[in-house]
């Protein structure tokens, strides 16, 4: 720690240095003995099958979290084996812990089993994806799925198995004990999810989120390249027998709208959730193709941009609730639907919580899809591009209020000085903007929040006992400009470093960029990243605080931009002791907040960006908190390949491992 203190300390750092030295002194005192704690797993990507990201572990508390320290690190080897490819990767993995092992995947889909106490590798498996293929959503593996066969054949391998998806569209079943491919699943342990699809290029379709498995069925979504064409490939969700890999069913969210529309995708790229008792799987579906012009898909786009509940065993639709009508903003559902008992106005109901890129939080009845917290259809801006027919209204939950701002005026422009503010003011004044859901235009339209959120794939964490949802949001603006199709090629040649997509088959291509000042700062006022606590009994926001700093993007800037927060990718995790852990921000820290007050009570330095969601477990009586520290290509954060485990010092009384 001392080696990180520079020999020349600016005057403004003096208070921070004093605090650091005080912390060093505090660390030298003997640690209090750890209280006994029974072992607890984290067997699903979201902690449980419903994605609550809650742990009953309570050894680490607001009172002792300041003593949390790194106790082990594990490197996937990606930084040395595929150093060049790492520039196009995002280490978004949330490890799981089940059956006495921690399971991790690298952005290139290598899978590792680790000793929970030491991080020592027990086995590894590499599917050997092609590192030269460039995927539009980077090389990503957000996690794996664990399944214990309730009726395995005597002596057969794979009684416990891991399912992992790959960027190159494979579903692989591994023996959780050995890491060997399960011989009875598909072809030598592998199912080709993309079989039969005709792709325009290898990276057009990939799989970035973990599968889900329940009732002997494993279910897989996909991520499909945005903005490329009207006649995109289908975004169908596919299900397979968890023992044999035989296809069970597929569900196309646009099937109910065909043949009246010409479109594809509406895929499910975010994680899904399951309710095994009800026999339901919950899908967060996305926008149909192309994203920013819908003249050839008149109407409401079927079950795109919806939360959809399907029968796990048959794929039959049970219900669907639409979060966006006729989407031309890329406001798809980016996060895992969270299943919880919500006591809205004192009455507990089984619910689905769906946060959105718009910063909205929908709360739906789990059995019917009807809103638990009322939803209103409100008028939204009209006057779309030629050939477009917009929905006159969009759905808004009455509570909580939107978690991200959506209206900006030229006089609201942000800048560190008059020149910067004026630059942003002119950009805002030149664009079309009438609030949320202003349609894309040839003039250029401000999308606020930008298509990265509001909320993104990190989702939320829910404490059922306290009835509090913890949600992190980003705040930035996109300028989306439609380009006549005949001019797209010239536009791309003139601006090769700007995102310009053809939307082939539509009369318009599109140009999209984050609205920044000359110094690269967002043109909208901060905070640019926040963490919120929402009381789900009343819909009231209990607190919201800035999340993250610009420290690692521009050293020293955090003092000029104190309290500004930072855009973030990843989600929160909460524990029974009342702590909320989160990385996500565009700096190299894992943080802990007091869930009751929003006060930051600890932060731990990471070797690279922590744009991932942390998890926790208790093993042999000791609680660990883990996060992937590997950075994110689109965030520009420091790249790496390590899983970092934190724990309190001391040796607790050991409990027998869970089995």
pLDDT range class, residue 6, cuts 50, 70, 90: very low
Q: How would you classify the pairing of strands 317-322 and 338-344?
A: unpaired
Inside any domain, residue 472: yes
* Segment 526-541 mean pLDDT: 98
pLDDT at 553: 79
Indicate if 330 belongs to the active site.
yes
24 pLDDT more than 60? no
Residue 437 burial by CB count (10 A; 0-12/13-18/19+): exposed, middle or buried?
buried
Q: Record the pTM.
A: 0.93
Inside any domain, residue 412: yes
pLDDT range class, residue 559, cuts 50, 70, 90: confident
Q: What is the C-alpha separation between 390 and 7, in angstroms, rounded?
A: 60
Q: What is the C-alpha separation between 566 and 587, in angstroms, rounded?
A: 8
32 pLDDT more than 90? no
Inside any domain, residue 529: yes
Inside any domain, residue 108: no
pLDDT at 650: 87
Query: Which of 301, 285, 224, 298 lies closest to 251 in space, CA to CA?
Result: 285
238 pLDDT more than 70? yes
pLDDT at 521: 92
Inside any domain, residue 215: no
Give the DSSP H/E element, type plus range, for residue 580.
strand 579-582
Inside any domain, residue 290: no
* Segment 317-333 mean pLDDT: 98
pLDDT at 560: 83
pLDDT at 659: 47
Q: What is the C-alpha separation between 643 and 626, in angstroms, rounded?
A: 7
pLDDT at 557: 80
* Segment 231-235 mean pLDDT: 95
18 pLDDT more than 50? no
72 pLDDT more than 60? yes
On average, the pLDDT of the chain sits at 92
**Could you identify the residue written with the tokens 């913890």?**
470
pLDDT at 579: 98
What are the tens digits of pLDDT across the range 196-223?
A: 999 988 899 999 999 999 999 999 999 9
Inside any domain, residue 647: no
pLDDT range class, residue 155, cuts 50, 70, 90: confident
Q: What is the C-alpha separation between 442 and 435, in angstroms, rounded?
A: 17
162 pLDDT more than 60? yes
- Candidate from 74-78, 206-210, 326-330, 518-522 with smallest mean pLDDT: 518-522
What are the tens digits of pLDDT across the range 248-305?
A: 999 999 999 999 899 999 999 999 999 999 999 999 999 999 999 999 999 999 999 9
Residue 494 burial by CB count (10 A; 0-12/13-18/19+): exposed, middle or buried?
exposed
Q: What is the C-alpha separation between 493 and 616, in angstroms, rounded?
A: 48
26 pLDDT more than 70? no
Q: What is the C-alpha separation between 529 and 359, in angstroms, rounded?
A: 12
- What DSSP designation does 655 have? P
Provide CB contacts within 8 A for 399, sequence distance 6+. 373, 538, 539, 540
Q: How would you classify the pairing of strands 139-140 and 89-90?
A: parallel
Q: How many domains does the chain have?
A: 1
Provide CB contacts within 8 A for 564, sequence distance 6+. 526, 527, 528, 546, 549, 550
Residues recorded for the chain: 659
More confident residue, 430 or 635: 430
- Candidate from 79-88, 151-160, 423-432 with smallest mean pLDDT: 79-88
Locate 101 and state its tokens.
């092992």
* Segment 405-411 mean pLDDT: 98
pLDDT at 171: 98
Give the rounded percent of residues in the chain with a pLDDT score beyond 70.
94
What would you report as the CA-atom Rg of the chain, rounded to the nearest whole angstrom?
24
Using alpha carbons, list the distances in angstroms from residue 468 to 217, 341, 535, 558, 578. 32, 11, 5, 30, 10
Bridge partners of 632, per DSSP, are 90
pLDDT range class, residue 85, cuts 50, 70, 90: confident
Q: Which member of 330, 332, 594, 641 is catalytic?
A: 330
Q: State the Cα angle at 503 between 499 and 504, rounded to 5°.
A: 130
pLDDT range class, residue 29, cuts 50, 70, 90: very low
653 pLDDT more than 90? no
What are the tens digits of pLDDT across the range 350-361?
A: 999 999 999 999
* Segment 41-70 mean pLDDT: 98
Inside any domain, residue 547: yes
pLDDT at 654: 67
Upstream peptide bond of 259 is cis (omega within 30 degrees of 0): yes
595 pLDDT more than 90? yes
pLDDT at 22: 33
The parent domain of residue 364 ranges over 351-477+515-603
More confident residue, 311 or 34: 311
């Amino acid at each position: 720690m001392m080696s990180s203190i520079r020999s020349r300390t600016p005057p403004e750092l003096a208070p921070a240095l004093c605090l650091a030295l005080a912390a060093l002194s505090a660390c030298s005192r003997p640690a209090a003995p750890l209280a006994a704690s029974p072992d607890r797993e984290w067997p699903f990507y979201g902690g449980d099958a419903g994605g609550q990201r809650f742990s009953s572990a309570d050894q680490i508390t607001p009172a002792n979290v300041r003593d949390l320290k790194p106790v082990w690190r594990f490197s996937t080897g990606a930084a040395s084996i595929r150093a060049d490819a790492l520039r196009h990767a995002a280490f978004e993995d949330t490890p799981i812990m089940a059956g006495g092992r921690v399971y991790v995947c690298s952005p290139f889909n290598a899978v590792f089993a680790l000793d929970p106490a030491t991080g020592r590798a027990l086995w590894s498996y590499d599917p050997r994806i092609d590192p030269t293929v460039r995927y539009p959503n980077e090389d990503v593996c957000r996690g794996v799925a664990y399944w214990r066969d309730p009726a395995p054949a005597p002596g057969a391998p794979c009684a416990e198995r891991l399912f992992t998806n790959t960027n190159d569209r494979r579903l692989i079943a591994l023996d959780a004990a050995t890491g060997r491919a399960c011989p009875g699943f598909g072809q030598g342990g592998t199912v080709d999810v993309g079989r039969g699809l005709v792709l325009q290029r290898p990276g057009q379709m990939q799989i970035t989120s973990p599968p889900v498995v329940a009732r002997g069925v494993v279910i897989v979504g996909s991520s499909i390249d945005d903005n490329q064409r009207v006649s995109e490939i289908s975004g169908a969700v596919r299900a397979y027998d968890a023992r044999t890999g035989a296809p069970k069913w597929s569900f196309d969210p646009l099937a109910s709208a065909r043949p009246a529309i010409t479109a594809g995708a509406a895929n499910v790229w975010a994680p899904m959730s399951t309710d095994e008792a009800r026999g339901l799987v919950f899908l967060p579906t996305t926008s149909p193709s192309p994203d920013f012009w819908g003249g050839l898909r008149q109407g409401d786009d079927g079950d795109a941009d919806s939360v959809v509940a399907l029968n796990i065993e048959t794929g039959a639709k049970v219900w669907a609730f639409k979060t966006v009508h006729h989407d031309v903003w890329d406001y798809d559902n980016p996060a895992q639907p969270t299943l919880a008992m919500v006591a809205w106005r004192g009455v507990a109901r089984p619910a689905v919580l769906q946060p959105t890129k718009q910063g909205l939080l929908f709360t739906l009845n789990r059995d019917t899809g009807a809103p638990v917290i009322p939803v209103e259809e409100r008028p939204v801006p009209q006057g779309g591009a030629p050939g477009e027919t917009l929905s006159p209204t969009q759905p808004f939950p009455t509570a909580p209020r939107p978690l991200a701002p959506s209206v900006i005026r030229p006089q609201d422009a942000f800048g560190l000085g008059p020149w910067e503010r004026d630059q942003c003011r002119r950009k805002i004044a030149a664009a079309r903007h009438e609030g949320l859901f202003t349609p894309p235009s040839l003039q250029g339209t401000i999308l606020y929040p930008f298509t990265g959120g509001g909320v993104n794939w990190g989702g939320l964490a829910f404490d059922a006992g306290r009835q509090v949802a913890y949600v992190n949001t980003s705040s930035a603006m996109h300028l989306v400009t439609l380009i006549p199709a005949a001019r797209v090629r010239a536009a791309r040649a003139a601006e090769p470093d700007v995102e310009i997509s053809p939307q082939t088959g539509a009369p318009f291509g599109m140009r999209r960029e984050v609205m920044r000042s000359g110094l690269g700062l967002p043109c909208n006022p901060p905070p640019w990243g926040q963490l919120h606590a929402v009381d789900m009994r009343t819909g009231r926001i209990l607190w919201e605080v800035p999340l993250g700093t610009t420290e690692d993007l521009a050293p020293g800037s955090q003092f000029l931009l104190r309290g500004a927060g930072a855009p973030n990718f990843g989600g929160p995790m909460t524990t029974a002791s009342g702590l909320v852990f989160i990385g996500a921000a565009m700096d190299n820290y894992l943080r802990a907040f007091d869930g009751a007050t929003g006060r930051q009570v600890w932060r731990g330095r990471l070797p690279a960006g922590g744009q991932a969601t942390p998890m926790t477990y208790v093993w042999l009586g000791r609680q660990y908190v883990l996060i992937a520290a590997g950075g994110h290509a689109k965030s520009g954060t420091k790249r790496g390949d390590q899983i970092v485990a934190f724990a309190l010092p001391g040796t607790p009384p050991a409990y027998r491992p869970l089995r």
